[in-house]
Structure 1
Amino acid sequence: MYLPGTIPSPLQVFHLLLCRSVWLLPLRLQSPQYVKLAFGQLTPAYLQGLLLAMPDATLLQRHLFDIARVAALLQRAAGLRTMPSVKETKRLLPAAALLVRGVRPTQWVNMVQDSWAEVQHKTTTEAKAAVLETLHQWPLFGSAFFVVGGAIEAGAPSDLLLAVNRRGLHLLHPVTHESLATHPFSAVLSARRVRSEEGVQLLEVRHGPADRSAVIQLRTERAAEAARLIRRYSALQRRLSESDNRRRQLSR
């Protein structure tokens, strides 16, 4: 709407991007719309290597096969019907995968191409669903990542990676993604943003038994976002636990 005699501004285009923030409930792979949304949200984190835990630059054997199969699935999810070439294989792998000890680039190509026979006849939606189904088994699946400051023990790096997912809060090594500490939501009493005396934003998490709880403070500019997400997970997990308890009582 505009007033007479005025010139309307050019039409503005807005894009609405939907994303899932809490991943406690099961995947809904029977819905093409859901598969498309979840695939688009999670694939970038996977290709950046954020879902990989690589102590000493190594991977579990099952993760090696998962990565090769997912690479073939990504080729099919993109609508391509040809076996991934050597050049294509490199972009279908997480960035850190090529640094894995004991696995040469040619071996990755062979493993990906071996997986192609299994997935080449899938539709693009089926391929995307298969990617989600595979990655759902990984410990860091569905994580929201926050760069935080504050070492938790002597010798730990000063900057850490906080992963918040369905299994709880995980303080990770920033490079290898090894878990340095884990706190399940059942042990989380509160999460909030606070400020230090110097005005630095901190994420404060109180955890443990109520009568002898401990407090973690981590420096991050996204403290409010992290605290809000932790509270959502904790509240939903409590509701699910209460619902399960009622269901068990009714079935007796």
Structure 2
Amino acid sequence: MLRDLIPADLSKAQSTNEWKRVIVQHYNNDSGMSPEEAKISFLKVIFRWPTFGSAFFEVKQTTDPNYPEHLLIAINKQGVSLIHPVSKEILVTNPFTRISNWSSGNTYFHMTIGNLVRGTKLLCETSLGYKMDDLLTSYISLMLTNMNKQKTIRLK
């Protein structure tokens, strides 16, 4: 049953007996909660995860030998994260302020991190490039709107 409860990439972090002990302990601590309390408690935990609220995209990157050929790209309110597809380790998170350019098409998504002259380009093969483009455009638009609002408030 542990295979159904513990993600494969975390299962080796502890022994089977240790996982069982921890699960039973948490179950006993939380067994008196109402469904609403359990939902709130769950959200308080996952809200702290760096990928909370992310949209995930599987891509094949063709430019940076420092990263695996296949990557997961997570886009959320923190920026754009590159994630190892097997270990699920976050390799890098680029805040929106570091993304200077991006484009997409039916089979690709391109992004420049840093400035256009000395920046790093990430070229990805994906059929969801247009969705990545739209999401990135929306987050950056929201960020710029919020920055302009703060400037206006400071000027008043």
TM-score w.r.t. length of structure 2: 0.84
Residue of structure 2 in register with 1:114 after alignment = 25
**Greater strand share, 1 or 2?**
2
Question: Structure 1 residues 121 and 147, CA, compared in 2 at 3 Å: closer, same or farther?
Answer: same
Query: Percent same amino acid at aligned positions?
Result: 25
Q: Deviations over 1:170-198 (max 9, x none)?
A: 11211112233332111223332136xxx
* Relative contact order higher in (CA < 8 Å, ≥ 6 apart): 1
Runs (4+) off by over 6 Å: none
Kindly name which structure, 1 or 2, has the bigger radius of gyration based on alpha carbons: 1
Q: Deviations over 1:129-182 (max 9, x none)?
A: 211110110111111111111245336321111111121111121111223333
Unaligned runs of 5+ in 1: 1-86, 196-200
Residue of structure 2 in register with 1:154 after alignment = 65
Summarize the alignment of residues 68-217 of structure 1 with structure 2, pairs less than 5 Å apart.
Answer: 87=1, 90-100=3-13, 103-154=14-65, 156-194=67-105, 201-209=107-115, 212-217=118-123
1:239 paired to 2:151: no
Q: Kindly provide the amino acid, as one letter, of the partner of residue 154 in structure 1.
A: P
Deviation at 1:209, TM superposition (A): 3.4
Deviation at 1:212, TM superposition (A): 4.8
Deviation at 1:221, TM superposition (A): 1.0
Summarize the alignment of residues 216-235 of structure 1 with structure 2, pairs less than 5 Å apart.
Answer: 216-235=122-141
Distance 1:189 1:124 in 2: 44
| Contact 2:64-2:122 at 8 Å conserved across structures | no
Q: What CA RMSD, in Å, does the superposition of the two structures yield over aligned residues?
A: 2.3
Question: Structure 1 residues 163 and 237, CA, compared in 2 at 3 Å: closer, same or farther?
Answer: same
Deviation at 1:222, TM superposition (A): 0.7
Classify the secondary structure of the residue corresponding to 2:10: helix
| Contact 2:9-2:87 at 8 Å conserved across structures | no
Q: Kindly provide the amino acid, as one letter, of the partner of residue 188 in structure 1.
A: I
Residue of structure 2 in register with 1:11 after alignment = none
